[in-house]
Amino acid sequence: MKKNNQTTFSSKYVLLILAVICVLFMGLSLITDGVHGPLRAVANYTIVPMQKGINTIGLWMSDLTKNLETLQELQEKNEALQAEVDELTIKNNLLQQEKHELDRLRELYKLDQQYTEYEKIGAKVTASNSGNWFNSFVIDKGTNDGLAVDMNVMAGTGLVGIITDVGPNWARVTSIIDDTSNVSALILSTSDKCIVNGDLTLMQDGKIRFEQLLNNENVIEVGEQIVTSHISSKYLPGILIGYVSEITVDANNLTRSGYIIPAVDFQHLQEVLVITSTKAELLEE
């Protein structure tokens, strides 16, 4: 901005000098208008071409000054427009974030309505392990909010895991996909029991494993729901774990095993629901 002002300032002085020179030459031309002979010829060969040249330069300088002023105005308008675009982009990003958050909260509300028999509290995920999967993570609620170890945690359309450690304003959740996790479960349509084992290597393909399913006459179809079993020592009964994606008979011909597509997206957890009673507490009641 300062450089443009200096250029305009210098141009004005150049124009002033050129104008003075033009006046001088105009005066000389007037003096020589009534003169004939050698002096008039010299003027025609010297003063007149110089006047034309100076006029041309003056016009060029004037056009240059106007162009610089126009360019400065365009730059200022461009900067103003860019500021508006930046502001609108920020507002649009905020609206998108709010929309995604609203969609997630609606999903949690829908999940809450599916399990009305349990008291629940919402919590935000504040930290996770360094991997791509939320096999172990921290939420922003703790003992001050009534949370305790062994409380079940849900998100999406089903079971996430269980609280394994808790502080005044935080709690750590271990997911069912963690390598240390195993959940007593059952096939919802037949009530046949099985064990769901966590395995992070399988999550690369978006699935977890179940096993020890009795090989009986009950036909298990792909897409059948697997839920937590009533005989689980820590998990409350009837919470959706996932859907059967593959099932085979084991080598012993006595049991079957297979894979489940989880009901929860364990790669993008942001909010969860915590059931505020443990299995032990409910059994005592």
Q: Is the dihedral of CA 277, 278, 283, 285 positive or negative?
A: negative
pLDDT digits (tens, 9 = 90+) for 181-230: 999 999 999 999 999 999 999 998 999 999 999 999 999 999 999 999 99
Instruction: Answer whether residue 139 shows pLDDT above 50.
Output: yes
pLDDT at residue 114, as a whole number: 83
Tell if the pTM clears 0.75, that is, is over it.
no
Quote the CA–CA distance of 228 and 25 in Å, as a whole number. Answer: 104
Residue 260 has pLDDT above 80, yes or no: yes
Task: Tell me: pLDDT of 270 over 80.
Answer: yes
Mean pLDDT of the chain: 83
First to last CA, the chain: 77
- Indicate whether 5 pLDDT > 70: no
pLDDT at residue 158 in the model = 94
pLDDT (0 to 100) of residue 264: 95
Interval 26-64: pLDDT, tens: 665 555 555 444 545 555 555 556 556 656 766 666 666
For the chain, what percentages of helix, strand and coil (3-state, to nearest 5) are there? Answer: 45, 25, 30
